[in-house]
Amino acid sequence: MGILGFRKQRKDLRSALQSMRSHGIIVNGPYRRRSGMFVFSVANSVITEDELLRLQGEGKFETRELQEILAEIGKRL
């Protein structure tokens, strides 16, 4: 990924996190795993950076949709 792609990804990630926080969802992180992957603690679930970017790209940052996604993640744990 070039420097411009990296900047866009960072901007998209900040936008996704701000959107979640504006909906009242508690987001902590980022935390870096040994593999280099960034993860976030979102409402007692762990979500990777890639998952957050994918959800934002699919337009799933409405409060109801986020709650459904977090409930599904909680079931898998």
Q: Full-prediction pTM beyond 0.75?
A: no
Tokens describing residue 9: 């990804």
Q: What is the pLDDT of residue 31?
A: 94
pLDDT per position as a tens digit, 40-60: 998 778 889 998 888 888 877
Q: In what order do the strands lie in the sheet with 45-48?
A: 27-32, 38-42, 45-48
Over residues 6-31, the mean pLDDT reads 85
How far apart, in whole angstroms, are the C-alpha atoms of residue 50 and residue 39? 9
Segments making up each domain of the chain, as ranges:
3-76
